[in-house]
Amino acid sequence: MIETAIIATIVLGLVEAVKRTNKISEIYLPIVAIVIGIAITGLSTVGGTEFVFNGIIAGLSAVGLYEATIDKLR
């Protein structure tokens, strides 16, 4: 299984790519991050249901990382 920190970094990059398309409002980006996190975690896990919780953690970690660092630099 891929570590949650690595998944959060991947989610951060993918959400930034989605954001730059300007097709989704910024208020929905945390939901997009959670969905992407669940999808990536689900693809890297071979069974069990804990991937949903790990995906939510990865998505919310990506949102928190963005809010704490990148958003402050603007």
Domain count, the chain: 1
Tens-place pLDDT, residues 11-51: 889 998 998 999 988 889 888 998 998 888 888 776 667 77
Residue 65 sits in which domain range?
A: 4-73
3: left (phi over 0), alpha (psi -120 to 50) or beta: beta
Contact (CB, 8 A) for 14 and 56: no
Contact (CB, 8 A) for 58 and 36: no
Q: Using 50, 70 and 90 to split pLDDT, how confident is the model at 1?
A: low
Q: How far apart are CA 49 and CA 72, in angstroms?
A: 35
Contact (CB, 8 A) for 65 and 11: no
Average pLDDT, stretch 5-15? 87
Find the helix or strand (DSSP H, E) in which 17 lies: helix 4-20
pTM above 0.85, yes or no: no
Residue 18 confidence (pLDDT): 92
